[in-house]
């Protein structure tokens, strides 16, 4: 079971719910993390809240306020889509398929490792 809000942040989903600016509450705060004076003196971290659902997104990925605003809106749109559509959301479906692909890749790698071990054991037996 995949937590719904963790599945957000997929770029190529086209069928997302639209957000209206009236439903959003935006704040600019100081960011956290590494960066020293550049981080401690500038308010370029964007906190965006979707009022009807109560979902809050905090974005401090770049030094630019405008880029952070754009990224925060994208993330919020995906999270709101997941919140309302749940497992029917395109974002959730994409995440599920990528998770399956990842598991399949791990399974194949494990099989290959087992084959290599068997091959080495056979070589050792042949030498003896």
What is the rounded average pLDDT of the residues 11-34?
78
> Three-state SS string across 34-49, please?
CCCHHHHCCCCEEEEE
What is the rounded average pLDDT of the residues 115-125?
91
How would DSSP label each residue in 42-80? ---EEEEEETTTTEEEEE-SSS-HHHHHHHHHHHHHHHH
Whole-model pTM: value is 0.64
| Fold classification of 21-86 (topology level) | Double Stranded RNA Binding Domain (3.30.160)
Top pLDDT among 91 and 53 is at: 53
78-117 pLDDT, tens digit per residue, is 888 888 888 887 778 888 888 999 999 999 999 999 999 9
The pLDDT of residue 117 is 94
Domain assignments of the chain as residue spans, ordered by start: 21-86, 89-127
pLDDT at 9 over 70: no
pLDDT at 16 over 70: yes
List, in order, residues 6 or more apart from 48 with CB less than 8 Å away. 24, 25, 26, 27, 56, 57, 58, 59, 69, 72, 73, 76
């Amino acid at each position: 079971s995949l937590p719904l809000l963790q599945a957000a942040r997929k770029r190529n989903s086209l069928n997302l719910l639209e957000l209206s600016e009236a439903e959003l509450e935006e704040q600019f705060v100081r960011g956290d993390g590494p960066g020293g004076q550049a981080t401690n003196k500038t308010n370029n971290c964007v906190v965006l809240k979707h009022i009807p659902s109560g979902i809050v997104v905090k974005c401090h990925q770049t030094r630019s306020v405008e880029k952070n605003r754009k990224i925060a809106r994208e993330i919020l749109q995906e999270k709101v889509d997941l919140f309302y559509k749940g497992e029917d959301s395109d974002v959730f479906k994409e995440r599920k398929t990528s998770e399956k692909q990842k598991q399949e890749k791990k399974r194949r790698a494990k099989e290959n490792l087992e084959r290599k071990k068997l091959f080495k054991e056979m070589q050792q037996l042949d030498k003896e």
